[in-house]
């Protein structure tokens, strides 16, 4: 990988940067790898993307049925000190429409005060950009901070660097291989950058033969009498390139087999 240091220090992948600049409409993973002649693993490309994100805003956006990387410009180091500019504050409040984006209470009906906060904390790699800011009420903000103290910052920075929800879940389990991980922690990792309506399905898909992870489930009762689920990773295999497509193909194969069985077709 050819790279050079920017004025701010991080090594910049010039080949990837020039490619994305030449395609402002965005490029998907396959297009990037073909253009760069990248014959390494999917994780190799993810490392190149993570390195570039230290200096540039590079979200993965959905365009039709595809997900593409779009270069949105260089990170403003002054802004990314954590200071939220008046323009950013106004933009986030406008999107919130007077409602806490965590609990749903409103300024008009519940008398709450809204605070602008980072969805993914800066210590976990979260940027001070509109996509990572939200307006939440004071109680939610305090509760969020207390909850986040229970996580290891360096661990979450590693996990949340992965674009794929399957990879975020898998790598959080890998960091604790052989030890149970609470379902609430996995749910947070799954939903950190995009809401997953059924994150547990993503977890089950990691057990498919095409992926090959062995994940054992268990349950414990909390002191308050609630039943909590835990998951333990018993082995590790790197997720294959195009794992999302492989999972979808496996699902379709199962559905066809079930339909044939139901119709009595051999």
User: What does the domain layout of the chain look like in residue ranges?
Assistant: 3-69, 79-138, 153-259
Query: For residue 57, what are its two tokens?
Result: 């805003």
- Arch. (CATH architecture) of 153-259: Orthogonal Bundle (1.10)
Which 3 state secondary structure label does DSSP give 207?
coil
Tens digit of each residue's pLDDT (9 = 90 or more) over 4-57: 444 444 455 888 999 999 999 999 888 998 898 876 666 677 778 877 877 788
pTM over 0.75: no
Q: Which DSSP state fits 193?
A: S
Q: How far apart are CA 13 and CA 10, in angstroms?
A: 10
Q: Which two tokens stand for residue 102?
A: 């965590």
pLDDT of amino acid 195 = 66
- The C-alpha atoms of residue 54 and residue 58 are separated, in whole angstroms, by 10
HEC per residue, 157-191: HHHHCCCCHHHHHHHHHHHCCCCCEEHHHHHHHHH
Question: How large a percentage of the chain has pLDDT more than 90?
Answer: 39
């Amino acid at each position: 990988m050819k790279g050079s240091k920017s004025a701010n220090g991080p090594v910049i992948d010039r080949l990837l940067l020039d490619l994305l600049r030449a395609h402002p409409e965005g490029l998907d993973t396959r297009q990037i790898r073909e253009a760069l002649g990248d014959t390494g693993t999917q994780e190799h490309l993810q490392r190149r993307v993570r390195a570039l994100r230290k200096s540039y805003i590079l979200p993965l956006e959905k365009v039709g049925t595809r997900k593409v990387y779009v270069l949105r410009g260089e990170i403003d180091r002054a802004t990314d000190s954590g200071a939220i500019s008046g323009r950013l504050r106004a933009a986030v409040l406008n999107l919130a429409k007077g409602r806490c984006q965590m609990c749903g209470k409103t300024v008009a009906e519940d008398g709450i005060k809204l605070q602008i906060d980072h969805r993914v904390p800066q210590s976990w790699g979260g940027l001070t950009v509109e996509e990572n800011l939200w307006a939440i009420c004071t109680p939610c903000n305090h509760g969020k901070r207390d909850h986040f103290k229970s996580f290891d910052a360096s661990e979450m920075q590693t996990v949340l660097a992965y674009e794929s929800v399957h990879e975020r879940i898998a790598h959080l389990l890998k960091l604790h291989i052989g030890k149970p991980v609470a379902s609430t922690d996995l749910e947070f990792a799954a939903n950190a950058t995009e809401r997953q309506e059924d994150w547990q399905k993503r977890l089950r898909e990691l057990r498919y033969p095409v992926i090959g992870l062995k994940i054992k489930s268990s349950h414990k009762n909390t002191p308050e009498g609630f039943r909590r689920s835990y998951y333990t990773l018993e082995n590790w295999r790197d997720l294959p390139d195009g794992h999302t497509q492989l999972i979808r193909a496996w699902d379709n194969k199962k559905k066809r087999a079930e339909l044939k069985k139901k119709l009595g077709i051999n």
